[in-house]
């Protein structure tokens, strides 16, 4: 008779890996696996309208979430939504211009946080999507929810838009750390509740995206990345001890070791700039890792892709490993290259 641990490994290999059980064949999902590289996504988006129209229509968002599972059979489903749903619920107006990226108004660079009027109902469609997807998934598939980490979310809230170096927000944080700390605290508080509601609705693991953590100095990284992510993780572990948390501080570099030690996350996502062998030698023993194939290697395909895949696989001979990209899949990625990736990863241990 199989043990409960063995049964979990058979039924949900991704969830088992995130809980520390190494698999012979690493489970696989891809960041942004539901999106513009898929013709079925593009067709649905054209029919429904803009990006937010999809996110706020739970039937459509659920369909987008499961589209890549039907095509590729990934081991994980990632909720289709956006990290800026949190500032939207806090009272900023969220929009996506064609070819311009997201915009939040009013920007907090010149508007007080207290002036915002919260609209928590804006998160209700996300919870409805989670419930719908949870009812649709194969029992072998792990359902991942997510949220943006406070620093990354704050960069958009302060500037009102994305930027290459987050200069406006970094200046604001240095100039008025008390006011900026209040923004971080407010995001942290809502994020804990937001993720908790996702878990209650059916997600089984969580990823915290800190896409812009690489722009901070070590001291600022400790204050604005490690501290709030530690607070979120501690609160989630207290309420939902069986739900693994993946921390993904993109661009952290050498600061990744401190992040892993001090945030309390269960697993670490590695971006494509990190040497996976360095990560294996540096991170706490036994801590699961996720990553870190370069999305551009996936676009290139062929022998270049095969070599890149093998290098990532070879870096973690004993460590629990979830195969993924180092960041999101790009919209010009050929479908055939994703098929090649899956065949290579799943065939490597055959």
Cα first-last separation, the chain: 25
Residues contacting 40, CB < 8 A, separation 6+: 67, 71
Please pick, among 19, 37, 75, 82, the residue that the annotation labels catalytic. Answer: 82
Tokens of 107: 């920007």
346 classed as catalytic:
no
Rounded (to 5) percent helix, strand, coil in the chain:
55, 15, 35
DSSP string for residues in 189-232: HHHHHHHHHHHHHT--EEEEEETTGGGS-HHHHIIIIIHHHHHH
Tokens of 283: 């991170």
Please pick, among 37, 41, 75, 156, the residue that the annotation labels catalytic. Answer: 156
**How many DSSP H helices and E strands does the chain contain?**
17, 9
Task: Tell me how many degrees the CA angle 75-76-80 measures, rounded to the nearest 5.
Answer: 150
- Return d(Cα 26, Cα 240) in angstroms, integer: 25
311 classed as catalytic:
no
| Phi, psi for residue 56 in degrees, rounded to 5 | -85, -5
36 classed as catalytic:
yes
- Return d(Cα 259, Cα 244) in angstroms, integer: 16
The runs of H, that is alpha helices, within 12-123 are: 13-18, 39-48, 51-55, 58-72, 85-90
- Return d(Cα 167, Cα 215) in angstroms, integer: 9
Do 232 and 188 form a contact (C-beta atoms < 8 A)?
yes
Please give the positions annotated as active site. 32, 36, 45, 82, 156
């Amino acid at each position: 008779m199989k043990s409960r641990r063995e049964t979990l490994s058979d039924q949900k290999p991704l969830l088992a890996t995130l809980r520390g059980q190494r698999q012979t064949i690493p489970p696989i999902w891809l960041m942004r696996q539901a999106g513009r590289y898929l013709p079925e996504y593009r067709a649905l988006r054209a029919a429904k309208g803009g990006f937010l129209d999809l996110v706020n229509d739970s039937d459509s968002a659920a369909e987008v979430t499961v589209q890549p599972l039907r095509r590729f059979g990934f081991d994980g489903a990632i909720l289709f939504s956006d990290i800026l749903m949190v500032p939207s619920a806090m009272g900023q107006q969220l929009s996506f211009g064609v070819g311009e990226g997201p915009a939040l108004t009013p920007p907090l660079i010149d508007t007080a946080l207290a002036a915002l009027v919260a609209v928590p109902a804006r998160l209700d469609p996300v919870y409805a999507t989670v419930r719908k997807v949870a009812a649709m998934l194969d029992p072998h598939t792990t359902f991942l929810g997510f949220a943006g980490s406070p620093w990354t979310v704050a960069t958009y809230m302060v500037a009102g838009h994305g930027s290459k170096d987050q200069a406006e927000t970094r200046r604001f944080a240095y100039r008025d750390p008390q006011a900026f700390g209040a923004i971080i605290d407010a995001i942290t508080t809502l994020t804990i509740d937001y993720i908790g509601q996702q878990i209650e609705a059916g997600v089984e693991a969580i990823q915290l995206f800190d896409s812009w953590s690489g722009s901070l100095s070590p001291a600022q990284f400790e204050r604005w990345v490690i501290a709030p992510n530690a607070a979120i993780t501690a609160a989630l572990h207290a309420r939902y001890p069986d739900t693994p948390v993946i921390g993904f501080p993109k661009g952290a570099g050498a600061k990744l070791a401190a992040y892993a030690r001090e945030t309390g996350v269960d697993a670490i996502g590695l971006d494509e700039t990190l040497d996976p062998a360095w990560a294996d030698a540096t991170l706490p023993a036994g801590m699961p890792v996720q990553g870190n194939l370069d999305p551009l290697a996936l676009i290139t395909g062929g022998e270049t892709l095969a070599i890149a895949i093998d290098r990532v696989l070879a870096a973690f001979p004993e460590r629990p490993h979830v195969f993924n990209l180092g960041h999101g899949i790009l919209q010009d990625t050929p479908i055939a290259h994703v098929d090649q990736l899956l065949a290579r990863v799943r065939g490597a241990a055959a």
